[in-house]
């Protein structure tokens, strides 16, 4: 179990739609956390504003700053996307810009709490929509703690150019904070340059590719009838396989005993 973060460099390449498609198709128990400082959109969009009253990470932040109530309030702020099974849960993002100021100082607190969820009973993966990094107060602690970070980008030249600069910025930050190598992967969306070209140009592996599927993206963004057989949903479900493989390789690498410099080691 792990934190898996999705983030983009600029524009709107479909981070939230991609994250939501994964949350609705992956097989492990998970929580989708909207940690985009610019605001969450799933409550008003995919869920059509059907829930009464405020709910989400903004409410948790206010309560945590007031009386340290994160542990006791967390589960009441979630939305069951697959009711009543509680296997696909949503932590909605901020809806009021004023809430963003309350959330920003607590990114490390939320990150530590998310990490504890993988050791809970039952355990949960946390799939985090981090939005764009080029905003005020981005959730860097979440990205540094993630076992996998997927950098979502359109596959056309203008988007790849902006993504290249963001790759270097993330890599510098990860090096400075001693994040284990191999965490960051590219997730291109739509038509454009091929996977090999993208990986070579940005000097970063491409983990998979999501198709352009405007009909499904519209449902994930605005609500409606979602069809599991649509291209985006199939590709999002298939993405779980390379993500899990990457997680397994990273765990194995981190668990491998360090023998360098030990007398008698081969």
Q: Which residues contact 258 (CB under 8 A, 6 or more apart)?
A: none
Residue 256: predicted pLDDT: 66
Rounded-to-integer distance, Cα 175 and Cα 21, Å: 31
Q: What is the pTM of this model?
A: 0.92
**Residue 133 pLDDT > 70, yes or no?**
yes
The set of long-range contacts for 202-207, using a CB threshold of 8 Å and a minimum separation of 24, is 202/160, 202/163, 202/164, 202/167, 203/167, 204/151, 204/167, 207/150, 207/239, 207/242, 207/243, 207/246
Average pLDDT, the chain: 91
Nearest partner of 124 among 83, 84, 90, judged by Cα? 90
Residue 1: predicted pLDDT: 57
Residue 145 class from Cβ within 10 Å (0-12 exposed, 13-18 middle, 19+ buried)? buried
Rounded-to-integer distance, Cα 33 and Cα 24, Å: 13
Residue 137: predicted pLDDT: 84
- Tell me what the mean pLDDT of segment 24-50 comes to: 93
Instruction: Return the sign of the alpha-carbon dihedral for residues 97, 89, 42, 204.
Output: positive
Is-contact 113 142, C-beta < 8 A? no
- Split at pLDDT 50, 70, 90, the class of 255 is confident
**Residue 46 pLDDT > 80, yes or no?**
yes
Residue 229: predicted pLDDT: 96
Which value, in Å, is the radius of gyration of the alpha carbons in the chain? 18
Residue 257: predicted pLDDT: 62
**Residue 265 pLDDT > 60, yes or no?**
no
The domains of the chain, with CATH numbers, are: 3-255 (3.40.50.300)
Model pLDDT for residues 178-209, shown as the tens digit of each residue: 998 899 999 999 999 999 999 999 999 999 99
Residue 266: predicted pLDDT: 39
Q: Which residues contact 229 (CB under 8 A, 6 or more apart)?
A: none
Residue 20: predicted pLDDT: 97
Which two tokens mark 77? Answer: 């702020």
Proportion of the chain above pLDDT 70, given as a percent: 93
Size of the chain, expressed as the number of residues it contains: 266
- Tell me what the mean pLDDT of segment 96-115 comes to: 90
Residue 135: predicted pLDDT: 81
């Amino acid at each position: 179990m792990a934190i898996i973060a999705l983030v983009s460099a600029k524009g709107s390449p479909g981070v939230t739609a991609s994250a939501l498609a994964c949350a609705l198709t992956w097989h492990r128990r998970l929580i989708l956390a909207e940690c985009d400082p610019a605001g969450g959109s799933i409550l008003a969009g995919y869920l059509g504003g059907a829930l009464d009253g405020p709910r989400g990470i903004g409410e948790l932040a206010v309560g945590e700053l007031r009386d340290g109530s994160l542990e006791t309030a967390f589960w009441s702020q979630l939305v069951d996307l697959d009711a009543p099974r509680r296997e696909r849960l949503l932590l909605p993002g901020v809806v009021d810009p004023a809430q963003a100021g309350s959330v920003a100082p607590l990114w490390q607190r939320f990150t530590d709490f998310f990490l504890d969820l993988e050791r809970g009973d039952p355990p949960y993966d946390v799939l985090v929509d981090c939005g764009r990094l080029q905003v005020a107060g981005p959730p860097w602690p979440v990205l540094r703690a993630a076992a996998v970070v997927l950098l979502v980008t359109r596959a056309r030249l203008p988007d790849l150019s902006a993504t290249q600069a963001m790759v270097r910025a993330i890599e510098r930050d990860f090096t400075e904070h001693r994040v284990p190598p191999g965490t960051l992967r590219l997730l291109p969306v739509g038509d454009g340059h091929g996977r090999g070209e993208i990986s070579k140009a940005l000097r970063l592996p491409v983990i998979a590719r999501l198709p352009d599927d405007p009909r499904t993206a519209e449902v994930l963004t605005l609500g409606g009838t979602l069809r599991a057989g649509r291209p985006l949903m199939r590709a999002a479900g298939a993405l779980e396989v390379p993500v899990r493989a990457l997680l397994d390789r990273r765990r194995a690498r981190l668990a491998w005993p360090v023998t360098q410099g030990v007398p008698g080691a081969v």
